Amino acid sequence: MTKWLASIQSLDEAKDLETCLPDILDLKDPSAGALGALAIDDINAIVRWLDKRCLSSATVGDLMMKSNVISPVIFQWAETDLDYIKVGLFEDIELENCLVQLKATLYTAPKPVIAVIFADQSYPDDIVDLVKQAGFVGVMVDTAEKNGQSLSSHWSAIDIQRFVKSANDKGLICGLAGALRIEDIDSLALTGADYLGFRSALCPDRQRINHLDVSLAIKLEKRLAEFKLAS
């Protein structure tokens, strides 16, 4: 059954969601890029407060596609009590080489790592295969440019379904995100994705750097429940 992920930027936002915790609480700094990273102390404080009441994940930041840059951050994040670590794979001539070099890290890291690709960037046709071969446990799609355009602005329904099927066929956790709206639940509910990710839909005026509004989270959860997606 498809679950939902809420991205939060602070302990205060996490506490705001106490009565409607998502299946995955995702920690990121939206003011620092597509996958901006929170400080490690903030991550530890949020995870401590959460106390395993739901799963948690955190992004490592918008990093260069170099294994010697990414690997140390993965191991640093793995020292926390996070359930998942998320690494962005950005369009880059060095991407495929980086994935090969990350293999040793991903197979030895003490925490599972999920890859994030971007619907508004270009990748090799076999990117999901490359993600699997590198040792990631999952793959999600997001948008890199936070300009109001959503996942469906860049990918057709067929593209989305093909991505989900490819991930599912390879045994990867699969997530869909990218300025998703509450209304997008209707079309994404039957894709077979493992989770749907939300940030701007939880913020006033859909501005992802604004403080989360719990009333929007409750509205979203109710809509998800209609499709039996919310826990």
Residue 208 and residue 203: Cα distance in Å, rounded? 6
> For 192, left (φ over 0), alpha (ψ -120 to 50), or beta?
left
Residue 70 CB contacts under 8 Å (≥ 6 apart), including other chains = 60, 63, 64, 87, 98, 102, 105
The pair phi, psi for residue 20, each rounded to 5°, is -145, 55
Active site residues: 28, 86
DSSP letter assigned to residue 9: S
CB 174 within 8 A of CB 164: yes
